A = this chain, B = another copy of it.
Amino acid sequence: MKALVYQGPGTKSWMEVPNPVIKQPTDVVVKMMATTICGTDLHILAGDLPEVEAGRILGHEGVGVITEVGSAVTQLKVGDRVILSCVSSCGRCANCRTGLYSHCLDPEGTPGIGWIFGYMIDGTQAEYVRVPFAENSVYVMPKGMSDREGMLLSDILPTGFEIGVQYGRVQPGDVVAVIGAGPVGLSAVVTSRLYGPSRVISIDLDEGRLKRAMSFGATDTVNSGDADWMQQVLALTDGAGVDVAIEAVGQAQTFTMATQIVRPGGSVANIGVHGNPVELALNELWIKNIDVSMGLVNTNTLGMLLKLVAEHQLLVDGFVTHEFAFDQMIEAYDTFAHASLHDALKVLIS
């Protein structure tokens, strides 16, 4: 089969590799119908995650059709159209039993991290993929759901919802601010509406992205390049700050912005992947009764979000901005790597 193979820092190939086979009784093999590219894939290619070995097939998102099942698999069968979770979950360790799939204690790679696809084991940017712990890690797609919709459920929708909206404890009536209007930030915007906010403020430096945020359910936008951006945000609240500030960028500055606009008693939810420590102004914040959360997605809400997408209760139409065939994989990478140039959100490779 063909797959996108990491060849060491800076190098990748769309090349012929052996087909995957069942290794464990709980595995399935899936023929991929659609996959996509994530910012993390770019980090791996840049050499930022040296634990990834050359020869690794990248990718941790996608949908496909089961072509083979292991001997212990009873709830899935050949021919099932499934969504692959970006996190692999054994379903039986202490962490998985409480829904903390992100820290599965029995993975096939880095101990204690459930994200292994395209990282510790071969991933989804390929014609076929072996899926470990399949019955806990894939979800059957209902009839009528498109690959384009299903693919969003592998990672970005659950990430925005779980790490942004749920960890941020959004409640009906809340004013929510989401810093960063990329795919994950917009996922937080879309899914924040599941808890009935009174306002959802999208904050970004890019006017194009801000405009687009309105079609994903934002009620207001603020350009953080404006000198008075903070005053603009506070003016959209009762003056005391937002109830929930969601960080979806991953930089020290945007994290600090989130802590500055949150009201006493409110929450800061960090989704961003950070490369450096940040300064936390505990001298000012200790008295504010706030909560700061962070984490890797569990995808323990994937099945629930799938129902909402199937019932057309989520605004997910605008995420895919570009489409490619599998053998245009390199071209898809080029487009995604220069997302702002191409005004790209997610690329669909099918």
Contact = CB atoms under 8 A, between A and B. Distances in A.
**Binding site secondary structure of chain A:** loop
B283 A275 contact: yes
A264 B112 contact: yes
Interface stretch (A9-17, A52-60, A94-102, A176-184): A94-102
12 contacts: A25-B71, A75-B92, A103-B264, A112-B264, A171-B304, A196-B308, A272-B286, A278-B280, A279-B279, A287-B294, A291-B291, A292-B292
A298 to B, nearest CB: 8
A277 B283 contact: yes
Nearest to A270: B286
Interface in A69-120: 70-72, 74-75, 90-95, 97-100, 102-103, 106, 112-113
A31 interface: no
Interface residues of A, number: 80
Interface in A219-268: 219, 238, 240, 250, 252, 255, 264-265
A307 interface: yes
A92 B136 contact: yes
Interface of A: 24-26, 70-72, 74-75, 90-95, 97-100, 102-103, 106, 112-113, 135-136, 167, 171-173, 193-199, 219, 238, 240, 250, 252, 255, 264-265, 270, 272-283, 285-296, 298, 300-301, 303-305, 307-308, 310-311, 313
